[in-house]
Structure 1
Amino acid sequence: MRDPVAPGTVHSDSTGGQAARDVLNRFYHPVTLGEPESAESVIQINVIQLGPLTVGHFRFTGRATLVAAEGDAYHVTLPTAGRVMARRNGHEVTAGPSTAVTFRPGDPVYLRPQAPSAELDVRIDRCALESELAALLGHPVEGPIDLPAAFDLTGGPAHSWSRLIRLMHDELDHEASLIFRPLVAEHLCSSVLSGLLLSVPHRYHAELVAPATAGPPRAIRRALDAIDAEPDQAFTVADLARIARMSVRSLQEGFRRHLGCTPMAYLHQTRLTRAHETLRRADPAMVTVAAVAHRWGFAHLGRFASAYRTRFGVSPSDTLRRTA
């Protein structure tokens, strides 16, 4: 099982010149920042890392050219204001808020924002995206994945995926955001990766969206046993699929067919049951509801209390006080 994705460095700055290059080199690729602007030109930068995923918002008030001889990861640029000209494999693409542009590992990166403009830049470690695809399919994949040079953001899954990226950026302004909880960050990171794979054409896309075969009961039982043994662990669907020795999609279909729920729903209900049992046995003078919730993997106390009341008809604090 993978360690939970811990939210990494959050960087926010208004800068230019060498300082901007340092930020780009640190969070993205080794790049050169061409056409130094006048002294008043500024690049406003806001970046967060969630393990293998980096999402940054860049606002350009002057002309700039970003060039990397060879990208070392998957990169998606989503303009949010103005336009950006990109070049991939000798072909030029001009993108605005309705279009995203991509670069694959090994591609030269060339971006020329047409100031004033702003964009969201998503960097995904090569191994992470290809491992996510392999887990979804249940077999190894040959990379790099042939993401298109550009794709439309105005509708369908790609539009939904772009909203997820914008949500991540919007949450950076809130210190108490769930995005800073490792358990939430883990699932959010996986959602971004799998969402991209489902949103754009590539050679594995048809297989990815085809109906999945349900995993056999014996394999599903391996996942159930893992959950029942350690429901407090930060399992992802991919973790459970590896334990069951099947693809993520077969695991999900197997749970739906044999249990009538998703793997994550089963995990959630198992955690609620364990929390209920712990509260019933606990001494209210020694234990708090918050401690029990966190013990069983619930990061948000309010949502835990709501789900608990729906399941058991009483609040967690009522259950705890009844032990007195």
Structure 2
Amino acid sequence: MPDAAPAAGSAPAPGTVYFDSVGVHQARDVLNRFFHPVSVGGPECGEARMAVEVIQLGPLTVGHLTFGGRVTLAAPRADAYHLTLPTAGRVLARRNGREVTAGPSTALTFRPGDPVHLRPQAPSAEIDVRIERWALENELAALLGHPVEGTIDLPPVVDLSGGPAHSWSRLIRLLHDELEHETSLIHQPMIAEHLCSSVLSGLLLSVPHRYHDELVTPAAAGPPRAIRRVLDAIHAEPDRPFTVAGLARVAGMSVRSLQEGFRRHLGCTPMAFLQQTRLDRAHETLRHADPAVVTVAAVAHRWGFAHLGRFASAYRARFGVSPSETLRRAA
């Protein structure tokens, strides 16, 4: 059984760690902190240098490791779902008793309980993704609308050269690219939560496993009464950091049934409806605000918009004027 999930809203704010060039012993300490208890060894490990960048988005950890010497990374067993995506050079791995070579178009996966054995071939670089077991299995259960039994049987090797898996790998690389930007939106907890959910659901939709066929089969639409519960929750607290999985829990149905119910009954997605409601609340707030003491930024953040440019664009598309124009007219 997976570990119990933290309570809603308990995920820590996104955090990053950077090490430009460290010895393997320091690198081991970082890897032990953010990934798994791992040993670092090899004939050249004394001279090897590594660069490490890591970001944590709640139950999702994404790290970029660069190797300047040949090392071996080994753990007796993974304690979470782990994926390695080489970005340069090759990584040799031992999976299910056989040697596997991975390059930039391949991902290696390890499930909780699997032994981890990686030999990056210097010079090389890789993105390593850790997903807490409870998070991935709860995400799958939310999508399906029923509990899942046992560990998700991710394939040992995933082809990233095309299809949904290639799209998912681009999302991971986007997170990697944002690591160096201190003002990136990924540091906003609300954005981080949605990105984390997208990574988890995207992985589940991209790779084969025993629930995949069920996951991609069209779902029945949720009943109007359940959809009404979601509408009431959104109207009551539109500023709450809802996710589609959270709204599905309110409705008591799967994410897919919720989305199909919204499409059939309202002609939009749950998150689109949430944004429309937030825009309406922001519009009313700006219409009655005192521009001498209230700013557009404060109103945007009050109603759950983390990116002012996107808020202004969506606001103009809905109301035909900019937020600042509405605020000026309130004077």
Interval containing the TM-score (normalised by the shorter chain): over 0.9
1:181 pairs, out of 165, 188, 204, with: 188
Matched to 2:17, the amino acid is H
2:22 is aligned with 1:3 = no
1:113-132 map, 5 Å: 113-132=120-139
Any conservation in 2 of the 1:6–1:185 contact (CA below 8 Å)?
no
TM-score (norm 2): 0.96
2:260 is aligned with 1:253 = yes
Unaligned runs of 5+ in 1: none
Aligned to 1:310: 317
Q: Describe the superposition over 1:1-47 as per-residue Cα deviations: whole angstroms up to 9, x where unpaired.
A: 82175443311112122111100100000010011636542111111
Q: Describe the superposition over 1:145-194 as per-residue Cα deviations: whole angstroms up to 9, x where unpaired.
A: 00000010000000000000000010111111111111100000000000
CA distance in 1 between partners of 2:32 and 2:218 (Å): 41
TM-score (norm 1): 0.98
Matched to 1:65, the amino acid is T
CA distance in 1 between partners of 2:269 and 2:319 (Å): 20
> Structure 1 pair 38/217, CA: closer, same or farther in 2 (3 Å)?
closer
CA distance in 1 between partners of 2:83 and 2:309 (Å): 35
> Structure 1 pair 222/36, CA: closer, same or farther in 2 (3 Å)?
farther
1:12 pairs, out of 14, 18, 36, with: 18
Any conservation in 1 of the 2:14–2:189 contact (CA below 8 Å)?
no
Aligned to 1:22: 29
SS across alignment from 2:182: coil
2:331 is aligned with 1:320 = no
Q: Describe the superposition over 1:102-160 as per-residue Cα deviations: whole angstroms up to 9, x where unpaired.
A: 00000011111111111100000000000000000000001210000001000000000
Any conservation in 2 of the 1:7–1:48 contact (CA below 8 Å)?
no
CA distance in 2 between partners of 1:171 and 1:291 (Å): 25
Superposed CA RMSD in Å reads 1.2
CA distance in 2 between partners of 1:275 and 1:6 (Å): 27
Identity of aligned residues (%): 77
Matched to 2:122, the amino acid is A
2:55 is aligned with 1:55 = no
Matched to 2:316, the amino acid is R
1:235-246 map, 5 Å: 235-246=242-253
1:76-91 map, 5 Å: 76-91=83-98
Aligned to 2:307: 300
CA distance in 1 between partners of 2:45 and 2:161 (Å): 35
Aligned to 1:33: 40
1:267-306 map, 5 Å: 267-306=274-313
Any conservation in 1 of the 2:59–2:131 contact (CA below 8 Å)?
yes
**CA apart distance, 1:302:** 1.1
Matched to 2:200, the amino acid is L
2:134 is aligned with 1:104 = no
Corresponding pairs, count: 324
SS across alignment from 2:14: strand
Aligned to 2:142: 135
> Structure 1 pair 210/217, CA: closer, same or farther in 2 (3 Å)?
same
Unaligned runs of 5+ in 2: 1-6
SS across alignment from 1:162: helix
CA distance in 1 between partners of 2:45 and 2:79 (Å): 31
Any conservation in 2 of the 1:227–1:267 contact (CA below 8 Å)?
yes
2:175 is aligned with 1:172 = no
**CA apart distance, 1:281:** 1.0
Matched to 1:126, the amino acid is R
